[in-house]
Amino acid sequence: MSLVNLPRLGYWFAIILLPVFTPLLGSASDYVNISTSHFSFYFHVQDKRLMRSLIDRAEGLRSEIMEDLGIDIEETTKVYLVPSFRKFQEIQARAKIPSWSVAVAYPSLNTILIRSPRATKGGHIDLRKVFKHEFTHIAVGRAFKGRERVPRWLDEGLAMYVSKEWGLSRASAMTRAVLTDSLIPLSEITRCFPQEADRAELAYVESFYLISFLISQYGKEGFHRFIKVYSGGKGLKEALMEVYGIRWEELEEKWSNYLQSRFSRIPIVTSTTALWFLLTIAFILVYLRKRRANRLKLEEMESEDEEL
């Protein structure tokens, strides 16, 4: 799975599944290695200061992820911070890596590759968020152990939920989809996501809100049981019936009703017109406040003049 930086979506927002490629990591002597209880980090010496902050928090972040997922894996995960995009591409020689790609997770190899912020446009990456997102993919993939291909909405929705990738823009995207009746059926985002940027954005948002729906409606303990039953060998429909007592079709209907009730009455405040309106109101308020402050200051000066 590759964490990518689509121009509109942000680097933390889009993932491409790459289960069949094997990274060619080359000589380990090119990297500094620091290990913790569950991770082995590899990076170039120039990135040591940057990586130190992640390494110090890695075990705590791992505990948070395991608690959110309700599972645990006792294996050591390798995490490479790759110094350049050229190296990032070379490592994954058989994969077509887009120029905006930021990170890739290979659950079958228990390995994460992340581009160094020095090798990214603007030089900024929220390394903690990227790490949480990618390690969630590792944890889910290792839990299923290849018994069944993990649904895209489950894999991506969990990664976004665990790394807390939500906000006003996502609520706006979901609101637009609900109001325009353009939601993508779950069956269409189970095996793959659309290629078009707008549809891909919606697929990720839907995945996040489906996970949020399951947890909010049935509780985190129920969701943990669902993950254990499903990853333990049961099929998706069997797991849904055993844990939640609902059929796949019922789940999609309940989820659709949930979205309708939650988003059909939310204004799309991130539209261009609304943003200009809000900016105009803000400008007027600032102007009136400044004018009032100037008037009070003038009155104070006039009062002082009268006293003199």
Distance CA 140, CA 214 (A): 17
pLDDT tens digits for range 256-296 = 898 888 887 655 444 455 545 555 666 666 666 766 665 55
Instruction: Check residue 13 and report its DSSP letter.
Output: E
Going across the sheet that includes 101-106, the strands are: 10-16, 2-6, 101-106, 111-115, 77-82, 39-43, 32-35
CATH 3.40.30.160 in the chain, residue ranges = 1-146
Using an 8 Å Cβ cutoff, are 49 and 10 in contact? no
pLDDT tens digits for range 179-224 = 888 999 988 999 888 878 788 889 999 999 999 999 999 999 999 9
* Band (300; pLDDT cuts 50, 70, 90): very low
CATH 3.30.930.10 fits 1-146, yes or no: no
Residue 149: alpha-carbon gap to chain centroid:
20
Helices (H) and strands (E) in the chain, counts: 10, 7
Model confidence, pTM: 0.75
Distance CA 237, CA 254 (A): 15
pLDDT tens digits for range 21-71 = 456 555 556 789 999 999 999 999 989 988 999 999 999 999 999 999 998
